[in-house]
Amino acid sequence: MKRLPGRFHAVVFDLDGVLTDTARYHYLAWKRLADSLGIPFDEAANEHLKGIDRMGSLNLILGDQAAAYSPEKKIALADKKNDHYRQLIATMTEDDLLPGARDALLLTKASGLKTGLASVSKNAMTVVKALGIAELLDVIVDAARITHSKPHPEIFLTAAAHLGVVPGHCLGVEDAIAGVRAIKAAGMIALGVGDPLVLTEADLVISGLHHFTLDVVERPAQ
Ligand code: G6P
Ligand code: MG
């Protein structure tokens, strides 16, 4: 842990599925929409949607049928999914932080590192406020501040630039395949949160932030 501040100057966290279980809510909301359209959709397919923006996710769900929907119809479907999602997040509170999430932010700051949030969600600020973590984040980069969704590195590069830290000195924390790719494309070290068999491109994978310590990332990928 003592060696880390020399190597890492910042930790940039994803939101959905890392700090809170909203990845589950995104899945449930998409599942409801897919069921209403008669399109098969399961958790394995959902892995490829994590970290992808709303319209990109809809296009992945529609697959070959995407071209059959007009832009207006697609916007209506994306809005419907968002209505389902907003119903699910409406009652969120600080209790919805995942185990270890607040401690991971506190440990990062206490170690002299900066904290950032990188979420392509348009609902990120609503969730951050509900969780009461805004004051623990030195920068929040959400959908409003970027053009490209993950796996494009823009969101992580933007966070690093605002923090004044070169990407090579940043640790990115992600639960999504697309998110890990974005971190690596940005030239950062990637800490995956979830299943190592899914997050194969991460430098190291832990099952949850309750395992987050700053020395865990000193070990090589397993
Ligand atoms: C995050 C989630 C995705 C979601 C995206 C857009 O990256 O991992 O599953 O599709 O945000 O969220 P939004 O709230 O804007 O629909
Ligand atoms: Mg995520």
Q: Who has greater pLDDT, 215 or 9?
A: 9
At residue 23, what is the residue type? A
Residue 200 confidence (pLDDT): 97
Residue 219 confidence (pLDDT): 45
- Report the predicted TM-score, pTM, of the whole model to 2 decimal places: 0.93
What tens digit of pLDDT does each residue of 191-207 get? 999 999 999 999 999 99
Task: Give yes or no for residue 220 having a pLDDT over 80.
Answer: no
Task: Give yes or no for residue 133 having a pLDDT over 60.
Answer: yes
Q: Which residues are near ligand 1 (CB < 6 Å)? A: 16, 23, 26, 49-54, 57, 82, 119-123, 143, 176
* Atom number, ligand 1, closest to the C-alpha of residue 122: 15
pLDDT-based confidence at 215, cuts 50/70/90?
confident
Please list all protein residues whose beta carbon sits less than 5 angstroms from ligand 2, which is an ion.
Answer: 14, 16-17, 175-176
111-140 average pLDDT score: 97
**Which sequence positions are flagged as catalytic?**
14, 16
114 Cβ contact list (under 8 Å, min separation 6): 9, 10, 11, 108, 138, 139, 163, 165
39-47 average pLDDT score: 96
Task: Give yes or no for residue 2 having a pLDDT over 60.
Answer: no
35 Cβ contact list (under 8 Å, min separation 6): 41
What is the phi/psi pair of residue 61, to 5°?
-65, -40
What tens digit of pLDDT does each residue of 47-103 get? 999 999 999 999 999 999 999 999 999 999 999 999 999 999 999 999 999 999 999
Residue 1 confidence (pLDDT): 31
Q: Whose CA is nearest to atom 7 of ligand 1?
A: 51
